[in-house]
Structure formats: structure tokens, C-alpha cells
Amino acid sequence: MKKNLYFILFLIIAFLMLYVSRIEYGSFSLEKSMKACIIAQKRINKDKNIEDIKTFCENEINKKLGK
């Protein structure tokens, strides 16, 4: 019984840590994608304004994420 209790406690702590890490580092991936998109669009469209590129990238990333 004690062995099962340790295993269940371990699972609960592991799920909790995964949930916290997802919340903590979820925006990191989005920021990296945004920066990569901006750099790529700036190389493709050299004459385009940076604000237009940021807006374009935000819209495209949100479309892909389904937001």
C-alpha cells in the first residue's frame, strides 16, 4: 500500500510540474516563432515597413494556432 502511495504521489507531482512548465514556457515558443517570421519577412520584403511585417506575422501565427 505504501509503495502505491509513493507512486501516486510521484504522478501527481509530475503532472503538476508539467502543467507549470507549460504555463511558464508556452509564450517562449510563440515569441521565437514571431522573431523568426519577422526576420524571414524582412529578408523577403526589404521595402516593407517593420510594423506591417509584425502585423502580418501576428495574423499568420494566430491563424496557424487557431486563435
Domain definitions of the chain by residue range: 2-65
pLDDT of amino acid 51: 92
Helices (H), 1-67: 2-44, 50-65
Q: What is the pLDDT along the chain (67 residues), one digit of tens a residue?
A: 778 899 999 999 999 999 998 888 877 788 898 999 999 999 998 899 999 999 999 999 888 878 6
pTM of the model: 0.61
Which candidate, 59, 61, 60, 39, places its Cα nearest to that of 50? 39
pLDDT of amino acid 16: 96
